[in-house]
Amino acid sequence: MAQSFPRPRGTRDLLPDDLVLIRHLERTARRVAETGGCVEVRPPLFEDTRLFARSLGDATDVVEKEMFTVPRRSESEQSGSEDSGGYTFRPEGTAGAARAYLEAGFPQRGPLQKWYYLGPMFRYERPQKGRERQFTQFGVEIFGAAGPLADAEVVEIALRFFEALGFGAELEVRVNSMGDPADRDRWRESLRGYFEPQLAERCSDCRDRFARNVFRLLDCKVERCRELSAGAPDLFAVMGEDARVHHEGFLDAMCALGRTVREDRGIVRGLDYYTRTVFEIHYPPLGARSALCGGGRYDGLVAELGGPATPAVGFAIGFTPTEIALAALELPSESELADLRGALAPEVWCVAVTEEERLPVLRLAQALRKAGRRAALDLRGKSVGAQMKEAGKSGAAWLAVLGPDERTSGALTLRSLAGEVEIPAALSADLDAALRAALKDPGSR
């Protein structure tokens, strides 16, 4: 078992059985996004490193030490002047979507865009449960809508994804507002002023974070730190009128949708681009690992990338945490996966009784496949009995035995491997045609 070429750390091989669930997640995401009016986009899997440094914020851990970066090969590809930093495999989907939105000229030709994406993201960090170096995210981004209805619509789509998967009413939306940039600047300063005198009393993590991202001190889990944070200044105390009205509008819209949300001042997203609405979706029965979705508004991002001021709001859902949660809930039911699971097995297994029927059986399978049937046959020269066993184990629904008798009589019957006896009419017609094709002109070449 000494593997010469082991799987790269933090990656998974998705084998046929694994893909049953994955494909169910994918189709659920597509259906929910598309019924919500979103269309799919597929930006490249890698981008200029500077895109991520600029959009996520270069002091974030993601940019500082978790990026899969490759150097460029030649000077001629250097688009910028000095050190471009090469290419980086996307650690998240929003930056690429915003770049594509801008590059395709949507600010001019159709500012309102409702997009979704689905695919692999890459993050070079130490794997652990629920965290991989290559993982899949489903995300929605709405560009060009400044009002709170867009925020509500985004949250609604995320909720419907989880509900479609079978999550119950315990789903919890936690919301907060980061205010506008000016509000954030004011708040950052007052937080610095509040926390600085108590740094000596706080944990070492807090001391580190103080300089890099003072907001994160608010959700430190150390007991003593939490006590010290209790009296910290509230953003809402310094937030401007516009952001406040927006937040109220967002809450009203959620209420109109019949959704209850929980205000949680501790929600402070880690990336720099968020403004105003931020939210997370949790499933409390899962305990500590209950966060399933994160998102919010990022009105400054498109402008940060060199475009016109463009409002935007979105979310991202990681498949891996969703899979863990589904497993804990024993979801989805087998019946929901029946079609995907069924596609792993043939419909008709074609058996050759003697060597004389090998080629006719090959043609039988071909004809059935042309008719759209999943047909299988033995490829390893097995005996009749072994073919039967293999057919049984394959999960095939029907057995078509082609032997000397059938060649003479020109009639073929299907036997059910499941116990039923009746041949469906549609299958019977396909079978007749297939048999004629199989027996036609057997020796010509």
Partner RNA sequence: GUGGGUGUAGCUCAGUCGGUUAGAGCACCAGUUUGUGGUACUGGGGGCCGCGGGUUCAAAUCCCGUCACCCACCCCA
Instruction: Kindly list the residues in this chain that would bind RNA in the complex (CB under 7 A).
Output: 1-2, 6, 8-10, 60-62, 66, 91-92, 94, 121, 123, 125-131, 137, 139, 205, 208-209, 213, 216, 221, 269-271, 288, 294-295, 316, 351, 353, 380, 382-386, 388-393, 395, 399, 401, 403, 415-419
Residue whose structure tokens are 């929605």: 140
- Residue placing its CB nearer to RNA in the complex, 190 or 394: 394
Instruction: Count CB neighbours of 367 within 10 A.
Output: 22
Q: Report the nearest approach of RNA to the CB of residue 37 (Å).
A: 21
Residue 326, C-beta contacts closer than 8 angstroms, at least 6 positions apart: 21, 165, 166, 332
User: Half-sphere exposure of 3 toward its Cβ, with a 13 Å CA cutoff?
Assistant: 4
Residue 431, C-beta contacts closer than 8 angstroms, at least 6 positions apart: 348, 368, 400, 412, 414, 423
- Residue placing its CB nearer to RNA in the complex, 123 or 174: 123
Residues facing residue 313 across a β-bridge: 142, 297
d(C-alpha 348, C-alpha 371), whole Å: 12
Complete DSSP assignment for 288-332: GG-EEEEEEE-TTHHHHTTS----EEEEEEEHHHHHHHHHHHT-S
Q: Report the nearest approach of RNA to the CB of residue 407 (Å).
A: 13
Q: Which two tokens stand for residue 222?
A: 């150390």
- Residue placing its CB nearer to RNA in the complex, 96 or 307: 96
d(C-alpha 61, C-alpha 84), whole Å: 20
d(C-alpha 129, C-alpha 287), whole Å: 15
- Residue placing its CB nearer to RNA in the complex, 72 or 289: 289
- Residue placing its CB nearer to RNA in the complex, 377 or 391: 391
Q: Report the nearest approach of RNA to the CB of residue 300 (Å).
A: 15
Q: Which two tokens stand for residue 243?
A: 């952001």
Say if CB 136 and CB 119 are below 8 A apart: yes
3-state secondary structure of 363: helix
In the chain the first and final C-alpha atoms are separated, in Å, by 47
Q: Report the nearest approach of RNA to the CB of residue 443 (Å).
A: 24
Q: Report the nearest approach of RNA to the CB of residue 33 (Å).
A: 16
- Residue placing its CB nearer to RNA in the complex, 107 or 312: 312
Residues facing residue 120 across a β-bridge: 136
d(C-alpha 386, C-alpha 351), whole Å: 10
Q: Report the nearest approach of RNA to the CB of residue 401 (Å).
A: 5
- Residue placing its CB nearer to RNA in the complex, 107 or 302: 302
- Residue placing its CB nearer to RNA in the complex, 46 or 244: 46
Which has the closest alpha carbon to 262: 290, 241, 242? 290
Say if CB 129 and CB 83 are below 8 A apart: no
Q: Report the nearest approach of RNA to the CB of residue 370 (Å).
A: 25
Q: Report the nearest approach of RNA to the CB of residue 81 (Å).
A: 27
Q: Report the nearest approach of RNA to the CB of residue 297 (Å).
A: 13
Say if CB 41 and CB 35 are below 8 A apart: no
Say if CB 317 and CB 140 are below 8 A apart: no
d(C-alpha 296, C-alpha 289), whole Å: 20
- Residue placing its CB nearer to RNA in the complex, 2 or 200: 2
- Residue placing its CB nearer to RNA in the complex, 26 or 125: 125
Residue whose structure tokens are 């995210």: 137
Q: Report the nearest approach of RNA to the CB of residue 383 (Å).
A: 5
- Residue placing its CB nearer to RNA in the complex, 112 or 386: 386
d(C-alpha 317, C-alpha 295), whole Å: 9
Q: Report the nearest approach of RNA to the CB of residue 209 (Å).
A: 5
